[in-house]
Structure 1
Amino acid sequence: MTDRVESLVSQIDPALPMPPVVRRDVVLVAGPWLAGTSSVVIALRDRLPEHTVVEADELAAGQAPAAVVFVVSATAPLTESDCALLDSVAADTDVVIGVVAKIDVHRTWREVLDADRALLAQRAPRYRDVPWVGAAAAPDLGAPVVDELVTALREILADETADRRNRLRAKENQLLTANRRLAAAVIGRGRDARLEALRAQRAAALHRYRVDKSQRSIALRAQIQQARLELTYFARNRCASVRTELQEDVAALSRRGLARFPDEVRRRAGEVANDVGAGVARHLADVGEEVGLAVGPVGAHPTVEVDAPPSRARGAENRLMLLLGGGFGVGVALTLTRVFADLAPRWAVGGALGGAVIGVALTVWVVGVRGLLHDRAVLDRWVVEVISRQRTAMEEWVATRVLGAEAALTRAAAERDAADQSRTEDAIARIDREIREHASAGARALALRDRHVPVIESALAAIRDEFDALNTAEQAN
Structure 2
Amino acid sequence: MTDPVDTLVSQIDPRLPAPSIVRRDVVLVSGPWLAGVSSVVAALGDRLPECTVVEADALAAGDAPTAVVFVVSATAPLTESDCALLDSVAADTDAVIGVVSKIDVHRTWREVLDADRALLAQRAPRYRDVPWVGAAAAPDLGTPVVEELVDCLRHALAEDTLDRRNRLRAWENRLLTLRSRLDRDVAGAGREARLATLREQRTAVLQQFRLDKSQRSIALRSQIQQARLQLSYFARNRCASVRAELQEDIAGLSRRSVDGFSDEVRRRATEVADDVAVGVSRQLADIGEELDLAVEPVDSRPVVEVGAAPLRPHGPENRLMLLLGAGFGLGVALTLSRMLADLAPQWSVGGAIGGAVLGVVLTLWVVGVRSLLQDRAVLDRWVVEVTGRVRTAMEEWVGRSVLAAEASLGRSAAERDAADSARTAESVARIDREIREHAVAGARAAAARDRHVPVIESALVAVREELDALNRCKGANYELLNRSCE
TM-score w.r.t. length of structure 1:
0.96
**1:300 aligns to what?**
300
Shift of 1:9: 4.6
For residues 247-282 of structure 1, the C-alpha deviation after alignment (integer angstroms, 9 at most, x for no partner) is 111111111111221111111111111111101100
Contact 1:329–1:362 (CA under 8 A) maintained in structure 2: yes
Alignment length, in residue pairs? 473
Shift of 1:3: 4.7
For residues 279-338 of structure 1, the C-alpha deviation after alignment (integer angstroms, 9 at most, x for no partner) is 110010011112111111101322212111113212111111111111111121122122
Alignment of 1:66-77 (within 5 A): 66-77=66-77
Shift of 1:469: 1.5
- CA distance in 1: counterparts of 2:347 and 2:140, whole angstroms: 166
**2:11 aligns to what?**
7
Contact 1:11–1:455 (CA under 8 A) maintained in structure 2: no
Alignment of 1:94-133 (within 5 A): 94-133=94-133
Shift of 1:11: 4.2
- CA distance in 1: counterparts of 2:195 and 2:309, whole angstroms: 81
**1:176 aligns to what?**
176
SS at match of 1:311: coil
- CA distance in 2: counterparts of 1:251 and 1:311, whole angstroms: 16
- CA distance in 1: counterparts of 2:98 and 2:471, whole angstroms: 19
Structure 1's 257 and 46: CA in aligned 2 closer, same or farther, altered over 3 A? same
**2:266 aligns to what?**
266
Contact 1:325–1:364 (CA under 8 A) maintained in structure 2: yes
Structure 1's 44 and 76: CA in aligned 2 closer, same or farther, altered over 3 A? same
- CA distance in 2: counterparts of 1:20 and 1:186, whole angstroms: 24
Instruction: Give the letter for the 1:396 counterpart.
Output: E
1:224 and 2:228 are equivalent in the alignment: no
Instruction: Give the letter for the 1:471 counterpart.
Output: N
Instruction: Give the letter for the 2:224 counterpart.
Output: I
**2:135 aligns to what?**
135
- CA distance in 1: counterparts of 2:247 and 2:49, whole angstroms: 127
Shift of 1:390: 1.2
- CA distance in 1: counterparts of 2:19 and 2:468, whole angstroms: 25
Contact 2:19–2:171 (CA under 8 A) maintained in structure 1: no
Contact 2:311–2:375 (CA under 8 A) maintained in structure 1: no
**2:403 aligns to what?**
403
The farther-off stretch of 377-386 and 454-463 is 377-386
Instruction: Give the letter for the 2:234 counterpart.
Output: F
Unpaired runs of 5+ residues, structure 2, are 478-486
Alignment of 1:318-397 (within 5 A): 318-397=318-397
- CA distance in 2: counterparts of 1:151 and 1:19, whole angstroms: 31
- CA distance in 1: counterparts of 2:57 and 2:311, whole angstroms: 120
Contact 1:36–1:73 (CA under 8 A) maintained in structure 2: yes
- Identity, in percent, stands at 74
SS at match of 1:142: coil
Shift of 1:397: 0.8
The farther-off stretch of 313-322 and 204-213 is 313-322
Contact 2:270–2:304 (CA under 8 A) maintained in structure 1: yes
Instruction: Give the letter for the 1:6 counterpart.
Output: S
Structure 1's 379 and 26: CA in aligned 2 closer, same or farther, altered over 3 A? same
**2:51 aligns to what?**
51
SS at match of 2:313: coil
**2:483 aligns to what?**
none
Contact 1:186–1:443 (CA under 8 A) maintained in structure 2: yes
Instruction: Give the letter for the 2:283 counterpart.
Output: H
- CA distance in 2: counterparts of 1:56 and 1:90, whole angstroms: 11
Contact 2:165–2:467 (CA under 8 A) maintained in structure 1: yes
- CA distance in 2: counterparts of 1:39 and 1:469, whole angstroms: 35
**1:92 aligns to what?**
92
- CA distance in 2: counterparts of 1:404 and 1:205, whole angstroms: 33
Contact 2:99–2:132 (CA under 8 A) maintained in structure 1: yes
For residues 452-473 of structure 1, the C-alpha deviation after alignment (integer angstroms, 9 at most, x for no partner) is 1111111111112112212333
Instruction: Give the letter for the 2:253 counterpart.
Output: L
Contact 1:288–1:409 (CA under 8 A) maintained in structure 2: yes
**2:469 aligns to what?**
469
Instruction: Give the letter for the 2:391 counterpart.
Output: R
Contact 1:246–1:265 (CA under 8 A) maintained in structure 2: yes
The farther-off stretch of 343-352 and 459-468 is 343-352
Contact 1:29–1:70 (CA under 8 A) maintained in structure 2: yes
The alignment yields a C-alpha RMSD, in angstroms, of: 1.4
For residues 141-163 of structure 1, the C-alpha deviation after alignment (integer angstroms, 9 at most, x for no partner) is 22211111111111111101111
For residues 394-446 of structure 1, the C-alpha deviation after alignment (integer angstroms, 9 at most, x for no partner) is 11111111110000000110000000000000000001001111111111111
**1:455 aligns to what?**
455
Contact 1:26–1:54 (CA under 8 A) maintained in structure 2: yes
1:431 and 2:431 are equivalent in the alignment: yes
Alignment of 1:169-208 (within 5 A): 169-208=169-208
Structure 1's 381 and 2: CA in aligned 2 closer, same or farther, altered over 3 A? closer
Structure 1's 347 and 108: CA in aligned 2 closer, same or farther, altered over 3 A? same
- CA distance in 1: counterparts of 2:196 and 2:316, whole angstroms: 97
For residues 206-244 of structure 1, the C-alpha deviation after alignment (integer angstroms, 9 at most, x for no partner) is 001001000100110111111111111111111111111
For residues 102-152 of structure 1, the C-alpha deviation after alignment (integer angstroms, 9 at most, x for no partner) is 111211111111111111111111000001111111112222111111111
- CA distance in 2: counterparts of 1:310 and 1:103, whole angstroms: 131
**2:312 aligns to what?**
312
- CA distance in 2: counterparts of 1:197 and 1:474, whole angstroms: 55
- CA distance in 2: counterparts of 1:11 and 1:270, whole angstroms: 96
- CA distance in 2: counterparts of 1:475 and 1:350, whole angstroms: 171
- CA distance in 2: counterparts of 1:353 and 1:98, whole angstroms: 158
SS at match of 1:460: helix
SS at match of 1:10: coil
**1:278 aligns to what?**
278
Structure 1's 270 and 475: CA in aligned 2 closer, same or farther, altered over 3 A? closer
Contact 1:186–1:449 (CA under 8 A) maintained in structure 2: yes
- CA distance in 1: counterparts of 2:172 and 2:143, whole angstroms: 41
Contact 1:19–1:62 (CA under 8 A) maintained in structure 2: no
